[in-house]
């Protein structure tokens, strides 16, 4: 699986959009971009995933660059409950393993 690079930490003001970047320059054509988050002392929560098109759901939007070497997770209106560690993971469709990196610790500031 391709390796990912994320900033170790970020702050965002409550009510603003949180934009979390992820670099995955070695991603291959059949690998998906997945985003999970982990709130303290809980199991990871699935957020969104995509292959090459931008995706949006009730939680977030995923923007994937045209060359697929990087992506951005957008939380449109961050709340205090969005404080968590966010993991960007690259995995083959059908490859069941998810390899977690160190993620980005997002802190929402009141």
Partner 1 sequence: GAVVSQHPSRVICKSGTSVKIECRSLDFQATTMFWYRQFPKQSLMLMATSNEGSKATYEQGVEKDKFLINHASLTLSTLTVTSAHPEDSSFYICSARDLLAGGGGETQYFGPGTRLLVL
Q: How far apart are CA 110 and CA 108, in angstroms?
A: 7
Beta strands 9-13 and 104-109, pairing class: parallel
Task: Specify whether the backbone of 94 is left (phi greater than 0), alpha (psi in -120 to 50) or beta.
Answer: left
**CB of residue 73 to partner 1, shortest distance in Å:** 15
Residue (34 or 68) nearer to partner 1, CB: 34
| Residues 20, 73 contacting (CB under 8 angstroms) | yes
CB of 20 to partner 1, least distance (A): 16
Could you list the residues that contact partner 1 (CB under 8 A)?
32, 34, 36, 38, 41-46, 49, 87, 93, 96-103
Shortest Å, Cβ 51 to partner 1: 9
Q: 15 or 102, CB closer to partner 1?
A: 102
Residue nearer to partner 1 on the CB measure, 26 or 95: 95
Q: Environment class of residue 32 by beta-carbon count within 10 Å: exposed (0-12), middle (13-18) or buried (19+)?
A: middle
23: three-class secondary structure by DSSP: strand
Least CB distance to partner 1 at residue 38 (A): 8
Nearer to partner 1, 69 or 105 (CB): 105
């Amino acid at each position: 699986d391709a390796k990912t690079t994320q900033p170790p930490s970020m702050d965002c003001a409550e009510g603003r959009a949180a934009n979390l970047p992820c670099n995955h320059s070695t991603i291959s054509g059949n690998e998906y971009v997945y985003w999970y988050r982990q709130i303290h002392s809980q199991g990871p929560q699935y957020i969104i995933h995509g292959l090459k098109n931008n995706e949006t759901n009730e939680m977030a939007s995923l923007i994937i660059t045209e060359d697929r070497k990087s992506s951005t997770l957008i939380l449109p209106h961050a709340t205090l409950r969005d404080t968590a560690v966010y993991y960007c993971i690259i995995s083959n469709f059908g490859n069941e393993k998810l390899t977690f990196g160190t993620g980005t610790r997002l802190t929402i500031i009141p």
